[in-house]
Amino acid sequence: MPDADLLFTSATAAAALIRRRKLSPVEYVDAVLAAIEVQQPRLNVFVEVMAEQARAEARQAEAAVTSGAPLGPLHGVPVHIKDLLDVKGVPTRRGSAIFQDAPPAAEDDVLVARLRAAGAIVIGKSTTPEFGNKGLTDSPPHGITRNPWNLGRTSGGSSGGAAAAVAAGLAPLGLGTDGAGSVRGPAACCGVVGLKPTLGSVPYETATDSYANNTFAGPLARTVTDAAVMHAVMTGGASRDVWSLKGEDRRQLSPRLIGAHLGGVRIGYIPRCHNPRVAADVTANTQASLDAWAAMGAEVEEVTDAIDWIEYEGRVLYQAGFAVGFAQYLSRWQNQMDPVTLAFMERGNGFGLHDFRNAQFARTRLFRAIQALFDRYDFLVTPTMTRTALPVEFDAANEEVEVDGVKYGITRQGWTAYQYPFNLTGHPAVSLPSGFGTDGLPTAVQIVGHWGAETDVLRFGALLEQARPWAQHRPAG
């Protein structure tokens, strides 16, 4: 197989070829590393490439195939890890000058360990903005990560390195994190699949406040099947994440989704959240997706309920968290921190105790409002973003987003409004490509499901993927 085709082969297909001894893990990893050498200077998607370790693990993977040893579902498949999660032997720099000289991590994060146990080969750490702070991926120490579809556009954030790498064929799987849309936004910008799981189904042991957590770890992949396999590998309780200890099996598929006919399935279409505008090309591609499900028998209904999307209260929770969590670094590092981090911290310091508690109460109200929708609907569908990827120079702290020539708010209000509400409610949400915008950049649709119903959400997405295939598209260069 030519390297150009191998790089865009799905993870599950590559794993099957490896099991049948038709693909060498060594040759596979070498092809990916060679592509990284070419693409890293133009895209800037990695902060660490673990070439020698990856080659050594590939040789071990090949020996396991030859010896007939038991093989995991991702045996020999390259994966990269967002640089907010620990990989043993490599520093976790968090996109910040503060941690550029951090010592190598002593242990793998639990999710990295699970991926390795499934046979995956870690090839490097992908870029993130400082502390995963915004919807674009750039940082003072690591520079700008660019979108492989258009180098003048952002790859999204904060898992922009992972999404861009997957889109460019630099490993079929990336592990991202999502605190306010940080898996789904980059997936939408880069034309890949990104899953934010249900709160607790995939442990997130690095959360500063486990009980009030709204940050998730999830897969970025080119196909829904790849995302589903990666997700299945990572599920299950872990001792340091209280939400993961419930012990529920979240992988059961609803019987009505087993076939390709969706009679009886009800879709609640939400055209707007807090955002007053959405681009015409995004709306058209979202409608085409809804039409595809309707053609399979699903009933589509626009949600007209007056929902308070708690945009203000969400900012209170987000920015106050930055203000308190990173205050310890200001005296020494302020001049080397991202101005966006500093702006969020300053705004967070302006909120009081009553603001914060009222925001927490609002989170409960939002959860209950979404739960009430699921009394009527099997899935909620929205665009993932209001428009295609923003310019790489966009100022996420101060600049207003422009949609079809009209400016109307900063990123949380004007671009990513569909994402953060479901971090706060904890429901599973997946972004998958819906087409191309008029500027040639990808657009995306978001599917939100019942609490714990990731398998249903992924199956529903897979049906759209079959009706409107996407993975055959490759960015130029």
pLDDT in tens, 62-75: 999 999 999 999 99
| Structure tokens given for 314 | 């969400």
Would you tell me how many other CB atoms lie within 10 Å of the CB of residue 430? 30
What average pLDDT does range 204-223 have in this prediction? 96
Residue 4 is predicted with a pLDDT of: 86
- Residue 203 pLDDT > 90, yes or no? yes
406-407 and 402-403 strand pairing: antiparallel
Q: Provide, rounded to the nearest whole percent, the portion of the chain with pLDDT above 70.
A: 99
Amino acid present at 347: R
Alpha-carbon gap, residue 149 to 168, rounded angstroms: 9
Q: What is the mean pLDDT of residues 296-302?
A: 98
What are the φ and ψ backbone dihedral angles of 415, each rounded to 5 degrees?
A: -135, -50
Kindly state the average pLDDT of the residues 121-142: 98
The 442-449 sheet, strands edge to edge? 46-49, 121-126, 78-82, 173-178, 216-221, 193-196, 429-436, 442-449, 379-383, 266-269, 299-302
pLDDT value of residue 248:
60
Helix (H, G, I), strand (E, B) or coil at 381: strand
Does the pLDDT value for residue 1 go beyond 90?
Answer: no
Q: Environment class of residue 292 by beta-carbon count within 10 Å: exposed (0-12), middle (13-18) or buried (19+)?
A: middle
pLDDT at position 250 over 80: no
Residues 9-27, buried b or exposed e (16+ Cβ, 10 A)?
Answer: bbbbebbebbeeeebbbbe
Catalytically annotated residue among 96, 158, 159, 431: 158
DSSP letter for each residue of 110-171: HHHHHHHHTT-EEEEEE--SGGG-SSS-EETTTEE-EETTEEEEE--SSSHHHHHHHHTTS-
Q: How would residue 8 be classed by pLDDT, with cut points 50, 70 and 90?
A: very high
158 is catalytic: yes
Give long-range contacts, CB 8 A cutoff, 24+ apart: 115-119.
Answer: 115/74, 115/79, 115/175, 115/230, 115/233, 115/234, 117/72, 117/233, 118/72, 118/73, 118/74, 118/75, 118/233, 119/15, 119/61, 119/71, 119/72, 119/73, 119/74, 119/75, 119/76, 119/77
For position 341, what pLDDT does the model report? 98
CA distances to 106, 242, 254, 431 from 129, rounded to whole Å, are 23, 27, 38, 21
* pLDDT value at residue 44: 99
Strand partners, 139: 143
List, for residues 148-169, the tens digit of each pLDDT value: 999 999 999 999 999 999 999 9
The model's pLDDT over 114-130, given as tens digits with 9 standing for 90+, comes to 999 999 999 999 999 99
- Give mean pLDDT, residues 25-54: 98
Give the pLDDT confidence of 451-473 residue by residue, as tens digits. 999 999 999 999 999 999 999 99
Q: What is the pLDDT of residue 249?
A: 64
Residues 6+ apart with CB under 8 A from 226: 10, 11, 12, 172, 173, 193, 219
Per-residue pLDDT of 324-368, as tens digits, reads: 999 999 999 999 999 999 999 999 999 999 999 999 999 999 999
Q: Are 49 and 40 in contact (CB under 8 A)?
A: yes
Consecutive H or E run containing 59: helix 51-67
Structure tokens given for 454: 């990731």
Query: 3-class SS at 275?
Result: coil
244 given a catalytic annotation: no
160: Cα separation from own chain's centroid? 8
Q: Which residue has the tokens 């959400």?
A: 457
Residue, of 307 and 246, whose pLDDT is higher:
307
Domains of the chain: 3-467 (3.90.1300.10)
Stretch 177-199: mean pLDDT, rounded? 98
Query: What does DSSP say about strands 442-449 and 379-383: parallel, antiparallel, or unpaired?
Result: antiparallel
Q: Across all residues in the chain, what is the average pLDDT?
A: 97
Interatomic CA distance for residues 114 and 364, integer angstroms: 32
> Could you read off the pLDDT of 360-396 as tens digits, one per residue?
999 999 999 999 999 999 999 999 999 999 999 999 9
Question: Mean of the pLDDT values across residues 29-38?
Answer: 98
pLDDT at 252 over 90: no
Q: What pLDDT, on the 0 to 100 scale, is given for residue 247? A: 61
pLDDT at 291 over 90: yes
82 a catalytic residue: yes
Give Cα separations from 158 to 130, 179, 188 (angstroms): 9, 9, 12
| Amino acid at residue number 211 | Y
Q: Which of 82, 125, 134, 196 is catalytic?
A: 82
* pLDDT over 80 (residue 246): no
φ, ψ (nearest 5 deg) of residue 316: -55, -50
CB within 8 A of 169, min separation 6: which ones?
A: 4, 7, 8, 32, 35, 474
Give the C-alpha separation, 176 to 182, whole Å: 8
* Whether residue 134 has pLDDT greater than 70: yes
Could you say which of 155, 182, 201, 244 is catalytic? 182
